[in-house]
């Protein structure tokens, strides 16, 4: 899987290079990460035993500024996967014009098997191991899969202890009380909602006309599901790692959020005497959700959910990638032939890194923004980039993914070439 991620990203880069010529120097620079780190993290468990976990951090490219990227806790984390995701982050930051390069980090484990005390020791141990590899002007981590504001707070605190001074700008996605930004915890879903609204307006579609299915009811998926519900869209299906629920009449997303917070599952969400209304519904698998006959499909779980094997069964008219890499390059070709409009992750889910940038700016200035300012800045900036990518796609009659990569590649190539190229030195 990890090797496939990087292969997919590279294929998309090659497609974009046909429309945004890139120098041989820039191509060579982007072939390899700037630095990769693999560490061992010993943790004393609650029962007194010692376990050693493998952790990783990759800084892929810092041409446009210090690197930026999340830290994930997941059993499938490998160095190859982290490198691929760092490559993606490089293009995501360029696509939305942030002064950052791409990075990523992770620890290979199932965090659900650890106590809160063990998670804290693990999080602090990870920072002990990578402290010299990160910094406010070098590499700024953030939350990702199965990490959250509290974990980011532990990590920032540990870095501050190591450096002997408070350093809030080293980590974003922290609790607000520790220097986090208002709106950061919902930024990925909120940014995706702004992109979706912008694109649906291009097609003349009103919310009341549209049905939606959301795969993944975590931080990002649940946020955009609720915002779509409140905007008048009919959200007919949602799922988490254990499965999903479907109702052609539409689901009441606030009730589902409340029920899941209490019961940690959605399979029995509509039941007598539960926190929500009695609504007829069907249980379904994540795979079944992907093939529902809906207008909008939102993969908001993990990568490689739509592949060449199941792309033919997709019936949605529009796909918005809230997860990182949920659609493979082979699946892209099939979906495009089916006439499905796909809006790529490096634009759609960029709200998280954009508000992380706002948090970093606030930490460095000491001036903190109100929530309406965060939302205003996020809306105007991500909408502007979405409009530009739309125009590129229309100009060249190409997919929105290729247009997004052209947009990012143009910025990256310029920054790389401004350091000097073969042609410059030959002349």
Report pLDDT digits (tens) over 152-195: 999 999 999 999 999 999 999 999 999 999 999 999 999 999 99
pTM summary value: 0.89
Over residues 60-76, the mean pLDDT reads 95
Over residues 222-230, the mean pLDDT reads 96
> pLDDT band at 277, cuts 50/70/90?
very low
> pLDDT band at 268, cuts 50/70/90?
low
Q: Is the pLDDT of residue 34 over 80?
A: yes
What pLDDT is attached to residue 263? Answer: 64
Exposed e or buried b for every residue in 348-368, given b needs 16+ CB within 10 A? bbbbbbbbbbbbbebbeeeeb
SS (H, E, C) 36-104: EEEEEEEEECCCCCEEEEEEEEEEEECCCCCEEEEEEEECCCCHHHHHHHHHHHHHHHHHCCCCCEEEE
Q: What percent of the chain has pLDDT over 70?
A: 93
Q: Is the pLDDT of residue 121 over 70?
A: yes
Q: Is the pLDDT of residue 106 over 80?
A: yes
Q: Is the pLDDT of residue 279 over 90?
A: no
Over residues 379-408, the mean pLDDT reads 95
What pLDDT is attached to residue 355? Answer: 97
Which is higher by pLDDT, 366 or 22?
A: 366
What pLDDT is attached to residue 2? Answer: 47
Over residues 341-356, the mean pLDDT reads 96
What does DSSP say about strands 234-240 and 243-246: parallel, antiparallel, or unpaired?
A: antiparallel
Catalytic residue list contains 104:
yes
295 within 8 A of 273, measured Cβ to Cβ: no
The beta strand positions in 293-354, using DSSP E, are 296-299, 318-320, 341-343
- Looking at domain 187-348, its CATH superfamily turns out to be NAD(P)-binding Rossmann-like Domain (3.40.50.720)
> pLDDT band at 257, cuts 50/70/90?
confident
Q: Is the pLDDT of residue 415 over 90?
A: no
> pLDDT band at 57, cuts 50/70/90?
very high
Domain boundaries, the chain: 187-348
What pLDDT is attached to residue 270? Answer: 47
Set 34, 68, 92, 104: catalytic member: 104
Q: What percent of the chain has pLDDT over 90?
A: 74
Over residues 141-157, the mean pLDDT reads 95
Residue 35 has a CB neighbour count (10 Å cut-off) of: 16
Calculate ∠ Cα 39-91-175, nearest 5°: 60
> pLDDT band at 266, cuts 50/70/90?
low
> pLDDT band at 298, cuts 50/70/90?
very high
Of the candidates 252, 351, 343, 359, which has an alpha carbon nearest to the alpha carbon of residue 299? 343
The whole-chain average pLDDT of the chain stands at 90
């Amino acid at each position: 899987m990890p090797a496939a991620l990087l292969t997919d990203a590279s294929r998309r880069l090659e497609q974009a290079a046909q429309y945004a010529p890139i120098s041989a120097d820039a191509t060579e620079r982007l072939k390899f990460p700037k630095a990769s780190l693999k560490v061992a993290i010993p943790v004393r468990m609650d029962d007194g035993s010692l376990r050693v976990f493998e952790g990783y951090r990759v800084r892929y490219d810092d041409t446009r500024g210090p690197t930026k990227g999340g830290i994930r806790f997941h059993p499938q984390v490998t160095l190859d996967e982290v490198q691929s995701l760092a490559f993606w982050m490089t293009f995501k930051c360029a696509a939305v014009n942030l002064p950052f390069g791409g990075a990523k980090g992770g620890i290979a484990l199932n965090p659900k098997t650890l106590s809160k005390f063990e998670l804290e020791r693990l999080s602090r141990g990870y920072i002990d191991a990578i402290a010299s590899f990160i910094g406010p002007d070098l590499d700024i981590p953030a939350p990702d899969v199965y990490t959250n504001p509290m974990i980011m707070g532990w990590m920032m605190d540990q870095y501050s202890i190591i450096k002997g001074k408070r350093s809030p700008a080293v980590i974003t996605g922290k609790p607000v009380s520790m220097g986090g930004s208002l709106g950061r915890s919902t930024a990925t879903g909120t940014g995706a909602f702004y992109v979706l609204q912008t694109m649906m307006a291009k097609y003349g579609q009103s919310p009341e006309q549209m049905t939606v299915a959301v795969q993944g009811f975590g931080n990002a998926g649940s946020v955009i599901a609720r915002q779509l519900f409140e905007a008048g869209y009919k959200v007919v299906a949602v799922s988490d790692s254990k499965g999903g629920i479907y109702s052609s009449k539409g689901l009441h997303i606030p009730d589902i959020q409340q029920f899941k917070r209490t019961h940690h599952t959605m399979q029995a969400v509509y039941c007598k005497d539960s926190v929500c209304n009695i609504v007829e519904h069907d249980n379904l698998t994540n795979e079944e959700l992907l093939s529902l006959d809906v207008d909008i499909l939102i993969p908001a779980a993990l990568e490689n959910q739509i592949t060449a094997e199941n792309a033919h069964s997709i019936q949605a008219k529009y796909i918005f990638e809230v997860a990182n890499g949920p659609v493979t390059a082979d699946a892209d070709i099939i979906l495009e032939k089916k006439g499905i409009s796909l809006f790529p992750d490096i634009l759609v889910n960029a709200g998280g890194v954009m508000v992380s940038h706002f948090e970093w700016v606030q930490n460095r200035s000491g001036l903190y923004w109100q929530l309406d300012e965060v939302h205003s800045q996020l809306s105007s900036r991500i909408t502007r980039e979405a409009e530009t990518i739309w125009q590129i796609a229309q100009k060249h009659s190409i997919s929105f993914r290729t247009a997004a990569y052209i947009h990012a590649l143009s910025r990256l190539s310029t920054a790389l070439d401004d350091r000097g190229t073969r042609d410059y030195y030959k002349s």
